[in-house]
Amino acid sequence: MIKAGIIGSTGYAGAELARLLMGHPEASVVWYGSRSYVGEEYASIYRNMFRFVDDKCLDDNMEELAGEADVIFTATPQGFCASMVNEEMLKKTKIVDLSADFRIKDVAVYEKWYGIEHKSPQYLPEAVYGLCEINREDVKKARLVANPGCYTTCSILTLYPLVKEGLVDPATIIIDAKSGTSGAGRGAKVPNLFCEVNESIKAYGVASHRHTPEIEEQLGYACGRQVVLSFTPHLVPMNRGILATAYASLTGTPSYKEVKEVYEAYYGNEYFIRLLPEGVYPETRWVEGSNFLDIGFKVDERTGRIIAIGAIDNLVKGAAGQAVQNMNLLFGLPENTGLTQAPMFP
């Protein structure tokens, strides 16, 4: 049985980790870490865990936890994991970090976009970007996994085959993405109050969102050159879900069938990626509560562009589910262990 610890267990991503790990046949949670709720019963914070979790919240002492857990999940704000990780810790346990601390290889880029000093840049070269469908062999050998962001997971996987095979010009990529409010976290903020978000939709982080360099870096690896793209996120009044609509100019005149064959070559055997039939496009309601990514696309012959659309649950495939997927790879388990739940509806 894999012993797992969660630092940041009372945030939305941490709570989703707790829920998923509770149903995992090969793992158990030994530490519910939370700086804000030390000593309080976990089930008093999340009543859905009543009679499922009897534990009280512990602190965020990763040094102590490293001696008790086989894997530590850090569902914490940027900067925390980087300030805590050290060699002794990594000799004892594996770490799956859900923050952005180890996603971007260039420390200067990280510090520019996140506005904080990176406390352990020496681990950036070895940290593995945990996008399982692309990097699974590297994940299997890792000590430190950088769990990708929600917008990035949806955007990168939706575009990856097109960029990798040179079907689109990367310089023309525009990504228009929408997220549910849980993506903003559980902290009390006026812009996230019900009356502020209900019956409205807004763009934010326009030309400045912190997931932009992450998407650019990973797609740059795919095509072998620097990628600069436009990414605009939007907040919509729903709890969960991300819908990313990406536009790019085609480099040739492929048919729908030819593009579909490329997607099938990359994702046809992927358990968590569902390629939709022609004319059917992703909707967040059909992936809610699951670790699936749905992808659909349209070849626009009139404009010479392709419109590729992806949908995920931002708390599952975009955070906790992908973290568990990474854990499964780290410990040699089938990748979908504990993650075969069908999407919830309604």
Each residue's pLDDT tens digit, 134-154 = 999 999 999 999 999 999 999
Structure confidence at residue 189 (pLDDT): 85
208 CB-near residues (< 8 Å, 6+ apart): none
Average pLDDT rounded to a whole number, residues 157-186: 96
Question: How sure is the predictor about 56, in pLDDT bands with cuts at 50, 70 and 90?
Answer: very high
Buried b (16+ CB within 10 A) or exposed e, 267-294: beebbbbbbbeeeebbebebbbbbbbbb
Asked if pLDDT for residue 208 goes beyond 90, the answer is yes
Which of the four pLDDT bands, split at 50, 70 and 90, describes residue 43? very high
Catalogue the active-site residues.
Answer: 150
What residue type is assigned to position 266 of the chain? Y
Using CB atoms within 10 Å of the CB of residue 79, give its burial: 0 to 12 exposed, 13 to 18 middle, 19+ buried.
middle
Residues sharing a CB contact under 8 Å with residue 335, sequence separation 6 or more, in sequence order = 132, 136, 271, 272, 325, 328, 329
Percentage of the chain modeled with pLDDT above 70: 100
β-sheet with 144-146: strand ranges across: 27-33, 2-7, 71-74, 94-97, 144-146, 128-129
User: Which residues are within 8 A (CB) of 210 and not within 5 positions of it... i.e. 6 or more apart?
Assistant: 100, 113, 114
Give the pair of three-digit tokens for residue 34. 């939370």
∠ at Cα 99 (94, 101), nearest 5°?
80
Domains and CATH numbers, the chain: 2-126 (3.40.50.720), 151-314 (3.30.360.10)
pLDDT one-digit tens code per residue, 255-282:
999 999 999 999 999 999 999 999 999 9
User: Which pLDDT does position 344 carry in this prediction?
Assistant: 95
Residue ranges of the alpha helices (H) in 103-143? 107-114, 132-140
Q: Give dist(CA 312, CA 158) in Å, integer.
A: 11
Mean pLDDT of 170-185: 95
Q: Between the CA of residue 203 and those of 172, 236, 249, 264, what are the distances in Å?
A: 20, 9, 24, 33
Task: Please say if the pLDDT value at position 188 is more than 80.
Answer: no
Q: What is the pLDDT of residue 184?
A: 83
Please say whether the beta carbons of 173 and 205 come within 8 A: no
pLDDT score of 106 = 97
* pLDDT value of position 237: 96
Q: What is the mean pLDDT of residues 162-171?
A: 98
CA distance 157 to 160: 5
Q: Give the model's pLDDT for residue 323.
A: 98
- What is the arithmetic mean of pLDDT over 280-287? 98
Cβ atoms of 97 and 330 within 8 Å: the answer is no
Interval 79-93: pLDDT, tens: 999 999 999 999 999
Across residues 183-212, what is the average pLDDT? 91
